[in-house]
Amino acid sequence: MKTKNNDLKRRIRLSFIAFILLAGIMIISFYSCKDNKNDKIEWLTGSVERQDISNMVTCTGTLEPITKIDVGTQVSGRVDKIYVDYNSIVSQGELLAELDQTVLLATLSSARSSMATAKSELEYKEKNYGRFKVLYEKQLISSSDYEEALYSYQKARNDYNVSVSSYQTAETNLGYAKIYSPIDGVVLSREVEEGQTVAASFETPTLFTIANDLTKMRVIAEVDEADMGDIAIGQRVMFTVDAFPYEEFTGTTTQVRLSPTTTNNVVTYEVVVEAPNGGLKLKPGMTATCTIYTLDKPDALAVPSQAVNFNPGNEMISEKDTVVWVLDENNFPVRRQIKTGNSNNMYTEVISGLTEGEKVITGKNTQPAKLTTQPDSGNESSPFMAQPPRRGGGGGRR
């Protein structure tokens, strides 16, 4: 009997302890839930403001004149005289150099003599043919004699035509012995010296390289194939050269060439960028580091791109609609449908639906509210003493 009483007392003590623990857990849960209710949502916002929206592609290229001509010779011979040098300013039709004309003059004289002989032969055959024709019409000679006279006359006429062509060729070649500038410009390079022999048997040798106008240059930029989808004619370009690393030059894309260039399995395409060169700082052959603006919208009304992608709850938004959320006077998010334009991932252009200066929500940050107590009059509360939870919530509507 005594043992049963002891067991009963032990069970009562255990039940009492369990009740105390359960009550403590409930009290802690109550205050925790109350604290969570007092948490406030901090809205992260951005401004509707003017921004320069741009995307860009970087590449390198080589500077060259827009118009550059290689001046050569169509005849072989020894260079007799040179009248220009590097950097010489030349005009169209100006004499640049002369080849030795001795052989060419002899060829022309020979052609002239051959032409004169052929002409005399033609005149004789023509008169002879006329006599035979009259006799043949009177049936005083045979047809074979007439045909032979006709053949001799036609052959003489053809020989004369050939001699005339030979004479004209020799005369033209003599004219080629003098090298004239085809354009106005400046001599970039001179490839020959006086006394040097040039041979034009298989290809025309280059004697001079002339640039038309160095105040107008172009960059032949090599653009990676992955970036070609955004390149178009008329895009703004900024570039620098090693000679002036702190100075930016401007240009415009004028041509996108379709022929690819493959180097070490890397495919690139040539993009032509025209650039003014009024100060003549840019020189042919310089390497340019280019930035091509594939998207260029200066001073556009824009919002942070996070605002376009933000959704404060489980709102159903059509894929066709573009929605942002703005805060009203009670710090409550209000849905606003807008029309957007270009985007560079950081900012999105706003065409309609928002005005400059408005605040749009870009995200939210939930932070627990701080617990505070009203201090007693004349007594300051110790920061190390337990304090009751604050009643009510703060920060606007929930």
HEC sequence for 198-258? ECCCCCCCEEEEEECCCCEEEEEEEEEHHHHHHCCCCCEEEEEECCEEEEEEEEEEEEEEE
Assess whether pLDDT exceeds 80 at residue 358.
yes
Assess whether pLDDT exceeds 50 at residue 37.
no
Assess whether pLDDT exceeds 50 at residue 370.
no
Query: Would residue 27 count as lying in a domain?
Result: no
Query: Would residue 9 count as lying in a domain?
Result: no
Q: Residue 157 belongs to a domain with what CATH number?
A: 1.10.287.470
Q: 182 and 82 in one domain?
A: yes
The predicted pLDDT at position 212 comes to 92
Nearest to 42 by CA among 261, 379, 369: 369
Q: What share of the chain in percent tops pLDDT 90?
A: 53
Please tell me the total count of domains within the chain: 3
Assess whether pLDDT exceeds 80 at residue 3.
no
Q: 191 and 160 in one domain?
A: yes
Assess whether pLDDT exceeds 60 at residue 42.
yes
Phi, psi of 27 (to 5 degrees): -65, -45
Domain assignment of residue 93, given as a range: 74-198
Cβ neighbours for 48, distance < 8 A, ≥ 6 positions apart: 301, 302, 303, 350, 354, 355, 356, 357, 358, 359, 360
Assess whether pLDDT exceeds 80 at residue 221.
yes
Among residues 261, 277, 296, the one where a domain terminates is 296
The predicted pLDDT at position 9 comes to 66
**What's the mean pLDDT when you consider all of the chain?**
83
Q: How many CB atoms lie within 10 A of CB 186?
A: 17
Q: How far apart are CA 255 and CA 240, in angstroms?
A: 20
Assess whether pLDDT exceeds 70 at residue 372.
no
The mean pLDDT value for 129-144 works out to 88
Q: Residue 229 belongs to a domain with what CATH number?
A: 2.40.30.170
pLDDT band at 375 (very low <50, low <70, confident <90, very high): very low
Q: 358 and 315 in one domain?
A: yes
Query: Would residue 169 count as lying in a domain?
Result: yes
pLDDT digits (tens, 9 = 90+) for 294-332: 998 888 898 898 888 887 766 555 566 688 888 777 777
Query: Would residue 238 count as lying in a domain?
Result: yes
Q: 304 and 280 in one domain?
A: no
State which of 167-171, 338-342, 360-364 shows the largest mean pLDDT. 167-171
Are the CB atoms for 387 and 373 separated by under 8 Å? yes
The predicted pLDDT at position 378 comes to 41
Read off the DSSP letter of residue 390: P
pLDDT digits (tens, 9 = 90+) for 170-187: 999 999 999 999 999 999
Read off the DSSP letter of residue 168: H
Query: Would residue 15 count as lying in a domain?
Result: no
Q: How far apart are CA 260 and CA 52, in angstroms?
A: 33
